[in-house]
Amino acid sequence: MEKIIHGRPYKNTAKGPILVPCAPHGVLARLGDKWTILIMSILAMTPTTPLRFSEIKNGIPEISQRMLTVTLRNLQRDGLVLRHYFCEVPPRVEYELTLMGKTMLPALEGFTGWIRENWQAIERSRQAFDDSNGDL
Amino acid sequence: MEKIIHGRPYKNTAKGPILVPCAPHGVLARLGDKWTILIMSILAMTPTTPLRFSEIKNGIPEISQRMLTVTLRNLQRDGLVLRHYFCEVPPRVEYELTLMGKTMLPALEGFTGWIRENWQAIERSRQAFDDSNGDL
DNA sequence: CCGAATCCATAGGGATACTG
DNA sequence: CAGTATCCCTATGGATTCGG
């Protein structure tokens, strides 16, 4: 009775199809937030060597220290990123993708690839829509 | 000098790799918002026949009328969804994916598929992280 | 039936200053 | 160096009411 459409489970009812929530929404919301994808991409660039906090920050010039900390904490909590703290002075902290984090990369790549191919068209569409006051 | 990693352009500098913003972030933020993916999935279920406003609303029981309207408007503006208004009484409005909207589905599927396979692990990881007060 | 308008509560996220 | 803590502004989104 339960089928899958484009990765989502649903069921057909008399009133039409209804999507069955499969709890992935919290995950997608995380990935869609302002910094997660950027951080995942940075960490994906050096699969074998962890990166220091400051190195990540360097790779994403616009990010604030606070949001980098917060987002990394969330990714660690989700099991996508591993954090290594070295008790030295000055302190050193390194981050790397977990195994699960690495399994996400192909899917991520598929998505960002589509975006790279289509964002100009999207920008144009937005422009046209705004110019026509929405009565397209 | 500019390379691509997992769908994102970057360049190597003396100070390490730096991600080049390629403007897809607005798009990703849209897809990560609370309802877009659900709506896209619903529309993907009937590729040949458009859906009425109320049918979509029916398929996503928790969504408010306001957020359905707002999200559909955004998708229309992005060129991912087509809106057909029938000037009748009572009025009827139908929505369907555009061609570009349909090209997004494989990427979407890759992503939601990964999520479906991994969200339990993510939930467990979050639980463990919270239980340990973050000193994992 | 579809959606615009309004009100309001909460979450996201920037700037800055402070600490081991 | 790698965070915390605080303040504050804005965006998101729910509930409700009104209109064509």
What one-letter code names the amino acid at A5?
I
In a domain, B5, yes or no: no
Q: Which residue of A has its CA nearest to B122?
A: A78
Query: Residue A14 pLDDT > 70, yes or no?
Result: no
In a domain, B38, yes or no: yes
In a domain, B46, yes or no: yes
In a domain, B101, yes or no: yes
What is the per-residue pLDDT across A46-80, written as a single tens digit (0 to 9) for each?
A: 889 999 999 999 989 889 999 999 999 999 999 99
- The strands making up A81-86's β-sheet, listed across from edge to edge, are A51-52, A92-97, A81-86
What one-letter code names the amino acid at A121?
A
Mean pLDDT of all residues in B55-60 = 92
Q: What is the DSSP letter of A134?
A: T
Question: What is the largest distance, in Å, between two alpha-carbon atoms of chain B?
Answer: 66
Q: DSSP letter string over A95-124?
A: EEE-HHHHHTHHHHHHHHHHHHHHHHHHHH
Q: How sure is the predictor about A100, in pLDDT bands with cuts at 50, 70 and 90?
A: very high
Average pLDDT score over chain A: 86
Is the pLDDT higher at A11 or at A92?
A: A92
Work out how many domains chain A is built from and give that number: 1
CA of B1 to nearest chain A CA: how many angstroms apart? 15
Query: Residue A117 pLDDT > 80, yes or no?
Result: yes
**SS3 state at A132:** coil
In a domain, A19, yes or no: no
Q: Which residue of B has its CA nearest to A105?
A: B6
What is the per-residue pLDDT across B72-84, written as a single tens digit (0 to 9) for each?
A: 999 999 999 999 9
User: CATH code at A33?
Assistant: 1.10.10.10
In a domain, B6, yes or no: no
In a domain, B8, yes or no: no
> Are A73 and B134 a contacting pair at CB < 8 A?
yes
- To the question of pTM greater than 0.85 for the whole model, the response is yes
In a domain, B70, yes or no: yes
Per the structure, the complete domain to which residue B53 belongs is given by 28-131
